[in-house]
Amino acid sequence: MDTILYLAHTDASGSLPKAALEALTAALDLTRELDGASLVLGLIGENVEGAAGAVGGVERVVGVSGPEFAVSRYASDAAATEALVNATEATIVIAPATPRLCRTLPGVAGRLGGRVETQVTEVTAEGDTVRAQRWFYRQRMVATLSRSQRPWFLLVAPGAYDAWKGEAGGAQLERVNVDLPADQLRTRVEGFQAAASQTQTIRPDAQTLLVAGAGWTKKQADGQVHIKDAECLVLGFLELAHASLGSSKSLVDQSSEGGEVMSFMSHLNQVGQTGSTPRHKKGLSTCCHGEEPHVVGWRFIRERRAINLDPACGWAQGKADVLYVADAFQVMAKVNELLSGQ
Amino acid sequence: MSGGFHIVVCGSLVPDPLQTLEPVLGTDVPALKNEAMLPSVLDPWAGHALFEAAQLAASGPDSKLWLCSLGPKARLQQLMMQVAQKVPFELVALDGSASGFTDSALVADALASAIESIDGLDRSRMLLFGGCASASRDAGVTLQMVGERLGIRDQFLGVDELHVQEDGSLRVLERVEGGRYLASVCEGPPLVAAWATGKLPEPPNSPQIGMQNMRTIMPALARAKPVSLESGGTTWLSAEVPQQRRETRIVKDSSADEIAREIVDWLRS
Amino acid sequence: MSESDPKRDSLEVDIACVGFGPASGGFLTTLSRGLAASNGELESAAMPGLPPQVVCYERADDLGFGVSGVVTRATGIRATFPDLDPEQIPLARPVTKEKLVYLQDPIGASRRSFVLRSADRMLRGLRFVLPVKHHAMELPFVPSFLRKDGGLVFGIGQFNQWVASQLMAAGQVQLWPGTPVAEPLVEGNAVVGVRLLDQGTDSAGEPAAGFLPGMDIKAALTVVADGPVGAVGRRLDERFGMPEGNERRDWAVGMKMVVDLPDGCALEPGTVLHTFGYPEPEIFGFLYVNEPGVASLGIFVPSSLPSPVRASYRYLQHWLQHPYLWRHLAGGKLRSWGAKSLQESGRDGEPFLCGDGFARIGEGSGSTNVLTGSGVDEAWTTGVQLAESVLELLDGKLPFTRENLTKTYVARRRASSLDRESKIAAKARAGFDRGFVRGLLGMALTGLTRGRLNARRGRRPTRAPSLAEHYRGRIPAAEIERIEQEARAGRRPLHDALMDRAGWPSIPFDGELLVSHQDALLMGGKVQAAPGYADHVVFLAPAICAVCGTKQCIHVCSGQALTAGEDGVPNFDREKCVHCGACQWSCPEPRVPGRETGAIALRAGAGGLHSVEN
């Protein structure tokens, strides 16, 4: 007899962000499949009434609200989470894997003697057993497991489920009180700050991931390196196609300047590391040999194409849907031309 | 607060990402195929945490730096050969599995106990550092649990910058959605920072640092306490590398123009 | 190295070792035990109050990334580890079965002499009487000098790791991978230590961001164990010359893979196969089964193979597909790949074994036995011999002078069976100068008479044959020119195109075992190099490259790291280099005394192979 607590935080406008709606689908699915389970909605934020009222089909809604919970901060979020879990006696907690909750829930799991899985790609039930699927070793392998320890926190990866759409609800919001003594609020949130670089290499909603391999920085047929051209072509494509950027090996040389690596590559590390792994529909690999790029997010690319001069490279051996044996400098220049023409 | 920080970095070894990694699900817990043979490297983000910690420790006269590492003893020895030439630190070693399939709660327990017993550690000046996720379990959960065990309620995940301000408070930048940072200010230690890449490059190898480190590392390795990470309660149903072999269409004799057109059509579809 | 030297830090130790392989393994293990047994009586001269500070610097990013066969009688290794249980070490097994196999040419593209072709015809005629099957003949016996009864097969990477593990646990010596040594420090006639490679430079070696000049490590004794192509060993040769009459003229590229054998493969662990005759007669091959379902296999492409386009990888792929082998390998999967140079001059290539402040051990000291084709145990043994000598000198508080090292280390070495065997083997390969059949007969002669009778050496060719000469009778000169032009314009390596044209079938890539060369590098060798270091293959005389016709360095490069460049000077991609050194000895440009080798030099560098399954 499991009590499933769906846990989410509201955004600045008081509504549930997309990742949260996806996790809600997971929670509702699980409640249906799991023998004898009941679902409670749990919300944290400055204001939660709006969100509470928006979700229909749930019998019980609990919330922690107030100015201290407007911001993403471990101490307050953990206190709120603990309070909600205790108030509902939840055995399973399903939440979106947002940076805020990824920060908070593991600590609370530790506090309560439970367990936690993050970046869960599937939650299923078999009888009265809950199973979670997640990826290991930088998405190089996937495993399914179930645990008996409770409460079991499952943070659902964005993009793994469709966002919930449904009727508004009428359940009464139960407010849960959380005491936050002043000496616990030692952290003050200042606000958001943009990343230093002007270059937008992360596009969370991008349809396409461009993988730029080491070949861009190598000597070309004329015996020269063409870093500036490479930069132009890659950046141009990102702009025109609204694509995200990945790399098949570290092109970041943080210890030397000079024209040897593409200057914006230092932000490469950020792709997929924002706590939400982008799942692109299409992946285009360029100047990369075909050893499956160890790029966070590549694993989930559905349609894969590659441009490489070597017709016997790894892409030809079943790793891509299409391999174009051609010079990426030439092809990408043309691609950018066509994209900008529209 | 007097003096510098006492920084404890939690970080261990992971298989060298260049190697072929495949899981095998035996009777209980999955393991990596040919695990005994895989060369190891320092977990990358934990490495960044270590380098940032070293820089922070170097700037404070009374600071100390420990690396708390749980892994098979023989592997830790190998790891030290790579890490010990980078920055000065003291090692707290635990002899146990470094597999990504271990129970993070048990790992956190072991690390927390080891940290609690560090001689001369001033918990009021402590900064608990680590990576925001490992390259093995890749979950980003262990450090928070260690922090909780040690009673630290100021925690930060995905850190790229930690700056000591004039008044001694600590300004932290965490990676959040949309490629942005969340800026927060914590009054002071203790705090937990789970690092992303930070801003520092990997330090070059310094034989001097290496030799100095080895004097304390060797005895620490000899003292490494065995840790059992047997967890009842977990059932593994499957562990695999998804097989993906597509029917590749190889386009060989088309011009760059033709190929570009095909690609653009595909992108737009 | 730049002329205007940056300020360098220095550090003093007692003993500095260059390179971690079986030779250093033997040296450090024996020394370690001696130091532990001395119970603190031996004191460091560099850091008084502490035990002797012994450090070993290895260039590769990890200690387990070396390449080698290996099958060995393991006499020296077993003497050090009497209780050695091979099953403790992954990929190690006792030898159970050995075969020597002559492979015929089922394709017809190899270059066989009249004698050999006649022999082949005869064999084919007699194939119902002789054990000729699958285009191969298993010799009814393995000559005693080749036999490895009671020996071991193992992977050198795993073995080195295991040895390192024991050393670290004992705590008497320090091992530092990822630390290339650029050169020895020489003052007058003495070696006083080593200089580490500069870090944080651009590809030309000039300081870039993060520049850290390589430290000077001062040591009373420098042990040089950096293999046959090691930079420090070579510098010593240039500085001190070679002993009278000694020259390193015979080399080979050893290129190998570790393979997951297909299900149902009949080969059992401990099986050892030696092959010769295919894809070219001079190419020897080996296959050792390390574990159920896992085999190490590969070929040796010798410098005596008179081809200007000695491209090992393609040869390896054809060798794999020989019917005799392919019946066991089809359906298998590549696990690792690697390549190294072998020094095949043996005794004749021995350098000065010691001098004031230094001693040389291992393959770089000419310890490899070129008759039995074994080097690992011999290297180990020279390490043990040096360690015993060092302990003797430390005990007697005697300095590491040439005299003292000669009286102890060289004396031990000369008195040992290692030396006896190497004297026997000294002329084993002499016949190969004159052709393959003579070479084989010469080896047999040496082996069976224990060195009393040997083949005569031939004259060393003054230059490599041109492509036209090499392919005379097979490909018209005009066509060769056309192929060369196409290769220059396109991206296809020249040797591939020439081999195709010479009748070698193209390789049916399957993405599992038959993979492209670059795939082998990436999937198998996991070849990589971190930035921040200078290019370690340098062209010393661009004027020579400009007029060089054959560019053997490009063709022989194990990693395809060398490609045709501007003005004839090849381009070097350090991220593909596996540090095999074949480029260096392939260059036909003769060495000028007092100057670095020929027109191309392999210097110390970081990175390379990252697979421990070699």
Q: What CATH number did the domain enclosing C200 receive?
A: 3.50.50.60
Q: Which residues pair with C259 in a beta bridge?
A: C295, C334
Q: What is the pLDDT of residue A271?
A: 43
A17: its two tokens: 């962000």
Residue A310 and residue C532: Cβ atoms within 8 Å?
no
| Residues C316-326: tens digit of each pLDDT | 999 999 999 99
Give B123 to chain C, closest Cα distance, Å. 32
A332: its two tokens: 């990408």
Query: Which among A78, A139, A274 has the least Cβ separation from residue B175?
Result: A274
Ranges of chain B whose pLDDT falls below 70: 1-2
Instruction: Give DSSP secondary structure letters for A235-272.
Output: HHHHHHHT-EEEESS----TT--STTS-GGGGGGGGTT
Residues C220 and C334 occupy one common structural domain: no
Q: What is the pLDDT of residue A295?
A: 60
Residues C234 and C362 occupy one common structural domain: yes
Q: Which residues pair with A136 in a beta bridge?
A: A141
Ranges of each domain in chain B: 6-226
Architecture of the domain whose range is B6-226: 3-Layer(aba) Sandwich (3.40)
Contacting residues of A for B107, CB less than 8 Å apart: none
Give B219 to chain A, closest Cα distance, Å. 31
Residues C76 and C101 occupy one common structural domain: no
Residue A257 and residue C531: Cβ atoms within 8 Å?
no
- Which of A138, A87, C267 lies closest to B15 in space, CA to CA? A138
Measure the CA–CA gap between B19 and C593, rounded to whole angstroms.
43
Give B103 to chain A, closest Cα distance, Å. 9
Q: Which residues pair with B130 in a beta bridge?
A: B10, B194
Q: What is the pLDDT of residue A150?
A: 97
Give the percent of chain B with pLDDT over 90: 80
Residue C571 and residue A219: Cβ atoms within 8 Å?
yes
Q: Which residues pair with C176 in a beta bridge?
A: C57
> For residues C250 and C460, is the Cβ–Cβ distance under 8 A?
no
Q: pLDDT tens for chain A, 342 residues: list them.
A: 899 999 999 998 999 999 999 999 999 999 999 999 999 999 999 999 999 999 988 989 999 999 999 999 999 999 999 999 999 999 999 999 999 999 999 999 999 999 999 999 999 999 999 999 999 998 889 999 999 999 999 999 988 999 999 998 878 999 999 989 888 899 999 999 886 655 556 666 788 988 887 788 777 777 777 888 888 898 899 889 988 887 654 444 333 333 345 555 544 444 444 434 567 889 999 987 766 555 656 777 889 999 998 887 778 878 889 999 999 999 999 999 999 986
Ranges of each domain in chain A: 3-184, 208-341
Contacting residues of B for C210, CB less than 8 Å apart: 201, 204
Q: Which residues pair with A244 in a beta bridge?
A: A209
Q: What is the pLDDT of residue A278?
A: 61
Give A310 to chain C, closest Cα distance, Å. 8
Q: Which chains touch C (3 or more CB pairs under 8 A)?
A: A, B
**Pairing between β-strand C271-276 and β-strand C251-260 as defined by DSSP bridges:** unpaired
Residue A205, classed as helix, strand or coil, is: coil
User: Which of C367, C400, C422 is the endpoint of a domain?
Assistant: C422
Contacting residues of A for C566, CB less than 8 Å apart: 223
> For residues C20 and C63, is the Cβ–Cβ distance under 8 A?
yes
**Would A3-184 and A208-341 be classified into the same CATH topology?**
yes
CB atoms under 10 Å from CB of C385, counted, come to 28
User: Can you give the length of chain C in residues?
Assistant: 614
Measure the CA–CA gap between B114 and B90, rounded to whole angstroms.
13
The yes or no reply on domain A208-341 and CATH 3.40.50.2300 is no
Measure the CA–CA gap between C527 and C174, rounded to whole angstroms.
26
Q: What is the pLDDT of residue C430?
A: 79
- Kindly report the backbone phi and psi dihedral angles of residue B257, in degrees, each rounded to the nearest multiple of 5, phi listed first: -60, -50
Q: Is B17 exposed, middle or buried (0-12, 13-18, 19+ CB in 10 A)?
A: middle
Q: What is the pLDDT of residue A202?
A: 62
Q: Which distant-in-sequence residues (6+ apart) come within 8 Å of A85 by Cβ?
A: A5, A93, A108, A112, A151
Amino acid, res. B208? Q
pTM, two decimal places: 0.91
C281 in contact with chain B, both atoms CB, cutoff 8 A: no
Residue B181 and residue A193: Cβ atoms within 8 Å?
yes
Binding-site residues on chain B for chain C (CB distance < 8 A): 16, 18-20, 34, 36-39, 74, 77-78, 80-82, 85, 201, 204-208, 210-211, 214, 218, 221-222
Measure the CA–CA gap between C75 and C73, rounded to whole angstroms.
6
Residues C185 and C287 occupy one common structural domain: no
Residue C177 and residue B81: Cβ atoms within 8 Å?
yes
Domain with C29, as residue range(s), is 10-80+157-245+347-422
| Separation of first and last alpha carbons in chain B | 61
Q: What is the pLDDT of residue B108?
A: 98
Contacting residues of B for C335, CB less than 8 Å apart: 20
C193: its two tokens: 């230590």
B234 in contact with chain A, both atoms CB, cutoff 8 A: yes
**Pairing between β-strand B6-10 and β-strand A322-325 as defined by DSSP bridges:** unpaired
Residue C171 and residue B218: Cβ atoms within 8 Å?
yes
**CA C23 to chain centroid:** 13
Measure the CA–CA gap between C315 and C318, rounded to whole angstroms.
5
Please indicate, yes or no, if residue C171 is contained in any of the structural domains: yes
ipTM of this complex:
0.94
CB atoms under 10 Å from CB of C293, counted, come to 16
C292 in contact with chain B, both atoms CB, cutoff 8 A: no
Measure the CA–CA gap between A321 and C161, rounded to whole angstroms.
40
C169 in contact with chain B, both atoms CB, cutoff 8 A: yes
Contacting residues of A for C208, CB less than 8 Å apart: 255-258
Residue A99 and residue B153: Cβ atoms within 8 Å?
no
> For residues B22 and B29, is the Cβ–Cβ distance under 8 A?
no
Strands (E), A176-232: 187-194, 208-212
Work out how many CB contacts closer than 8 A connect A with C: 63
Residue C420, classed as helix, strand or coil, is: helix
CATH class, range A3-184? alpha beta
Give C545 to chain B, closest Cα distance, Å. 34
Ranges of chain C whose pLDDT falls below 70: 1-4, 460-463, 490-491, 590-597
Q: What is the pLDDT of residue A270?
A: 44
* Region of residue A292 (left: phi > 0; alpha: psi -120 to 50; beta: else): beta
Residue C526 and residue B82: Cβ atoms within 8 Å?
no
What CATH number is associated with residue C110? 3.30.9.90
Residue A260 and residue C491: Cβ atoms within 8 Å?
no
Measure the CA–CA gap between C92 and C163, rounded to whole angstroms.
13
Contacting residues of B for C65, CB less than 8 Å apart: 39
